[in-house]
Amino acid sequence: MMITGFRKIFFAFLLLPFAGWAQKLSLVPYVKPLIGTAKMGHTFPGATVPFGAVQLSPETDTISYAVNGKYNGDVYRYCAGYQYEDKTIVGFSHTHFSGTGHSDLGDFLIMPTVGKLQMNPGTADHPENGYRSGFSHANELAEADYYRVKLDENNILAELTASARVGFHRYTFPASENAHLILDLMAGIYNYDDKNVWTVVRVINDTLVTGYRQTSGWARTRTVYFAMSFSRPFKEYGTQNNDNPQVYRGFWRKFNQGSNFPDLAGRKLRMHFDFDTQQDNQVEIKFAISPVSMSNALENMRKEIPHWDFDRTKHEGQALWEQELQRIVVDVPTREDKINFYTAMYHAALMPTVYMDVNGEYKGLDQEVHKAEGFTNYTSFSLWDTFRAFHPYLNIINPSRNADMVASMMAHYDQSVLQMLPVWSHYANDNWCMSGYHSVSVIADAVIKGVYKGDPMAALEACVQTANTRNYEGIGEYIDRGYIPAESSGTSVSNTLEYAYDDWCIAQLAGKLGRKDVYDTFIKRSANWKNMYDPGIGFMRPKMADGTFKKEFDVLKTEGQGFIEGNAWNFSLYVPHDPAGMMENMGGRKRLSRYLDSLFTMHLPDEFFEHTEDITREGIIGNYVHGNEPSHHVAYLYNVTGEPWKAQEKVRMILKNQYHNGADGLGGNDDCGQMSAWYIFSSLGFYPVTPAADEYWLGSPAVNSARITLENGKTFTVRVINQSGKNVYVKKAMLNGKQLKGERLRYEDIINGGELLFYMGSRK
């Protein structure tokens, strides 16, 4: 361990010569974690390293207990724990999703206070009645892996940074004989009365506390272990147990468990640790987490941060971010563009998160402890979102990481008693959120592009097995009838469309592996999208079991129309694997062109927004909904109608309208990096319309130039001639000096290195 620790320091110094930390961070300053923290972006502003297991970030509210099992609608606001317009901070917790539309986590909330001990969070209106504090954005700074805020209530400066598995807190106190650090083990994001299943705390000595928190939330069975180390001894500590009074158990009467008692357990615990402080005394906390055990958490802490140098951890974390961002070095027209770009890269490097200890152990979907052999295990796969552009993006800039993610998905499959690949998995659970079985898209794409090095036959088997889970969301009926009847499901159309695309991915994978039998089965299934198209009205439409289309139908509404997060206007375009067939079905080029024109320009009635999830008014252009994922390929469809210039102007419009530098700079949930990955691809001038197909469709680059440093040591460069806000039209595209035909780029065109040269103009 000493050798490892020494090595780590040694390497850190190699990367970061002592005097040179600051000036080396040329791209990190463009990351603004506060982007997306207002309204529905649902990003968090706190500290984390790329794909780190710890996301140490402030909560402005989360403590929204449900009554009688019905959840408080407000919890949706707090998917990431933070809303920019709020005036108070409740505390700082260690785990956060980035950009989700449902949530969980918020583990281990810590808050510094002085004066009278208050063990409840208080309310936003009356922070003085609890441990929370007012704050002002003027006193707040959020950088990659560093967050700082002054807590007005008690004049405490809070600073946060993190390594992969350890949160590092630094609190600067005023003079007080009553300084406290609150550890709220009841707090959590999307909390219900019964979410806290069990908590254990062991106070090992006056600077070390270990324990775990077990919850049943979005993840049904989830335990996070911790080890918490203080930079100086606390003088006293105590525990508030908010459980109902309990039946006779020896441990309640043998000790006074409220005060200085080290062996705690219960459902609803809050703790305080007390200090005397002089003016500007700092108390620091290292807080490590583990999915496996307290001892692993402690090992994580000792291996990752074997010192008390907060600034060093911050510098090391920011160096990791610099390294991550340096994968693409762009020259863009404005500082705002640069902030958008690198914040998008930042947001596209937060999830999935590392889910294993430094020793490789993690708790699997089967609730057993496993050791990741030969790969880094990840969790929190929001696949309905991320299969579209996020994983394809990693296949270019960081394929080895994406290979590990596929390996993690395969491990999930191996541990699944349902024999299913992940749908929306986190922390040894699948919450089966959203629709489709889009793992197959990610896997097929990674195998076909040569990114995934594991057994491809096993991968194919996992895909086939998943696609044949008859009792999951209508798959049985889909297999039998070629579509899901409207009677069986409220999302019969979108499910059918998504299954059809996923089946095409399986067919591609089978074809690549020479499994013609599987190819034939799934290529046939992939045509099932046709069963949803009603030529009478020109839209995809719910079909009844008897083969007739559902009578009541509104092409503008989302709710109750057979779709999820999208209406018929948007979802009727969801045939990414056969856009030409789709166009033909819809009546040809002109019809599709007119359809797309209408989509982007029509005026929507206000009631449209009442029932549309996860997006703001700003997340919509006409009826085109950029804030939800099903339309992410839509602008590019003008390439099928033979009107690439329309694709180009729409892409540039979306880049400009839907992304900006404010806290409300995202028009909808960032969705674990998918919104950001769209931004990055589209800024570079191309987009993976059909993951698992070996092509990227051209759009209109927003950069002046971009240099992608590939893992294989090669460089792929995008250069743009005549770039300007008006010159959105691509006059010519040259790949390595040869004109590019058909607005398509292949994976090897990129990964083998080279130059893509765009000539822009102001007219189509």
Interface with its own copies (CB under 8 A), residue from 15, 141, 157, 369: 369
Interface with its own copies (CB under 8 A), residue from 96, 102, 412, 426: 102
479 in contact with its own copies (CB under 8 A): no
Residue 409: CB partners within 8 Å, gap ≥ 6? 381, 421, 422, 439, 442, 443
374 in contact with its own copies (CB under 8 A): no
Cross-strand bridge partners of residue 110 = 92, 183
What is d(CA 402, CA 349) in angstroms, rounded to the nearest whole number? Answer: 11
Nearest to 112 by CA among 95, 135, 96: 135
CB of residue 472 vs its own copies: minimum separation in angstroms? Answer: 6
CB of residue 294 vs its own copies: minimum separation in angstroms? Answer: 6
Query: What is the 8-class DSSP label of residue 244?
Result: P
Sign of torsion, CA 177 179 185 188? positive
73 in contact with its own copies (CB under 8 A): no
Between residues 38 and 297, which has the closer beta carbon with respect to its own copies? 297
What is d(CA 331, CA 344) in angstroms, rounded to the nearest whole number? Answer: 15
CB of residue 409 vs its own copies: minimum separation in angstroms? Answer: 17
What is d(CA 656, CA 728) in angstroms, rounded to the nearest whole number? Answer: 11
Site string for its own copies, 294-333 (x = CB under 8 A): xx--------------------------------------
What is d(CA 94, CA 314) in angstroms, rounded to the nearest whole number? Answer: 16
CB of residue 183 vs its own copies: minimum separation in angstroms? Answer: 16
> Do 57 and 81 meet the contact criterion of CB atoms below 8 Å apart?
yes
Between residues 564 and 625, which has the closer beta carbon with respect to its own copies? 564
What is d(CA 579, CA 593) in angstroms, rounded to the nearest whole number? Answer: 12
CB of residue 485 vs its own copies: minimum separation in angstroms? Answer: 17
Interface with its own copies (CB under 8 A), residue from 240, 359, 431, 616: 431
- Using the rule CB under 8 A, give the single segment among 289-297, 525-533, 543-551, 684-692 that binds its own copies: 289-297
Angle, nearest 10°, between helix axes 2-15 and 310-325? 60
The dihedrals phi and psi of 654, each to the nearest 5 degrees, come to -65, -45
- Using the rule CB under 8 A, give the single segment among 90-98, 209-217, 529-537, 741-749 that binds its own copies: 209-217
What is d(CA 632, CA 389) in angstroms, rounded to the nearest whole number? Answer: 9
Span 220-239, contacts to its own copies by CB under 8 A:
220-221
Query: What is the 8-class DSSP label of residue 635?
Result: G
Alpha helices in 237-289 (DSSP H): 250-254
What is Dmax (Cα atoms) for the chain? 83
CB of residue 420 vs its own copies: minimum separation in angstroms? Answer: 9
- Using the rule CB under 8 A, give the single segment among 229-237, 373-381, 426-434, 554-562 that binds its own copies: 426-434
Query: What is the 8-class DSSP label of residue 113?
Result: E
First-residue to last-residue Cα distance in the chain: 63
Interface with its own copies (CB under 8 A), residue from 204, 513, 653, 721: 204
Number of chain residues interacting with its own copies (CB under 8 A): 57
Interface with its own copies (CB under 8 A), residue from 124, 140, 157, 198: 198
430 in contact with its own copies (CB under 8 A): yes
CB of residue 474 vs its own copies: minimum separation in angstroms? Answer: 10
Between residues 205 and 712, which has the closer beta carbon with respect to its own copies? 205
In the Cβ-directed half-sphere of 341, how many Cα atoms lie within 13 Å?
A: 25
To 5 degrees, how large is the angle CA 685–CA 686–CA 690?
A: 165
Interface with its own copies (CB under 8 A), residue from 82, 97, 192, 659: 192
Between residues 472 and 759, which has the closer beta carbon with respect to its own copies? 472
Between residues 250 and 713, which has the closer beta carbon with respect to its own copies? 250
- Using the rule CB under 8 A, give the single segment among 200-208, 352-360, 598-606, 689-697 that binds its own copies: 200-208
495 in contact with its own copies (CB under 8 A): no
Burial of residue 718 (number of CB atoms within 10 Å: 0-12, 13-18, 19+): buried
- Using the rule CB under 8 A, give the single segment among 230-238, 246-254, 458-466, 729-737 that binds its own copies: 246-254
Between residues 141 and 369, which has the closer beta carbon with respect to its own copies? 369
> Do 735 and 748 meet the contact criterion of CB atoms below 8 Å apart?
no
Nearest to 664 by CA among 44, 97, 31, 41: 41
Site string for its own copies, 248-287 (x = CB under 8 A): xxxx--xxx---xxxx-x-x--------------------
> Do 89 and 62 meet the contact criterion of CB atoms below 8 Å apart?
no
Query: What is the 8-class DSSP label of residue 118?
Result: -
Interface with its own copies (CB under 8 A), residue from 74, 276, 309, 366: 366
Site string for its own copies, 9-48 (x = CB under 8 A): ----------------------------------------
Q: What b-and-e string marks burial along 61-99, b requiring 16 or more CB atoms within 10 Å of the CB?
A: bbbbeeeeeeebeebbbbbbbbbbebebbbbbbbbbbbb
- Using the rule CB under 8 A, give the single segment among 135-143, 211-219, 316-324, 624-632 that binds its own copies: 211-219
Between residues 197 and 735, which has the closer beta carbon with respect to its own copies? 197
Nearest to 97 by CA among 57, 125, 154, 137: 57
Interface with its own copies (CB under 8 A), residue from 15, 433, 527, 604: 433
247 in contact with its own copies (CB under 8 A): yes
Between residues 368 and 554, which has the closer beta carbon with respect to its own copies? 368
Interface with its own copies (CB under 8 A), residue from 327, 359, 461, 472: 472
> What is the residue-wise DSSP string for 436-489?
S-THHHHHHHHHHTT---S-HHHHHHHHHHHHT-TTSTTHHHHHHHSS--TTT-
Interface with its own copies (CB under 8 A), residue from 26, 279, 334, 367: 367
What is d(CA 457, CA 455) in angstroms, rounded to the nearest whole number? Answer: 6
> Do 694 and 722 meet the contact criterion of CB atoms below 8 Å apart?
no
Between residues 214 and 231, which has the closer beta carbon with respect to its own copies? 214
Tokens representing residue 400 in the block: 């080895």
Interface with its own copies (CB under 8 A), residue from 74, 128, 368, 554: 368
591 in contact with its own copies (CB under 8 A): no
Cross-strand bridge partners of residue 56 = 47
CB of residue 253 vs its own copies: minimum separation in angstroms? Answer: 8
65 in contact with its own copies (CB under 8 A): no
Nearest to 609 by CA among 628, 594, 631: 628
Site string for its own copies, 144-183 (x = CB under 8 A): ----------------------------------------
Between residues 82 and 218, which has the closer beta carbon with respect to its own copies? 218
Between residues 11 and 251, which has the closer beta carbon with respect to its own copies? 251
CA dihedral defined by 73, 78, 84, 89, rounded to 10 degrees? 110
Site string for its own copies, 647-676 (x = CB under 8 A): ------------------------------
What is d(CA 55, CA 661) in angstroms, rounded to the nearest whole number? Answer: 22
- Using the rule CB under 8 A, give the single segment among 274-282, 395-403, 428-436, 521-529 that binds its own copies: 428-436
Instruction: Write out the residues near its own copies by the rule CB under 8 A.
Output: 66, 68-71, 102, 192, 194, 197-198, 200, 202-204, 212, 214, 216-218, 220-221, 244-251, 254-256, 260-263, 265, 267, 293-295, 366-369, 416-418, 423-424, 430-433, 471-473
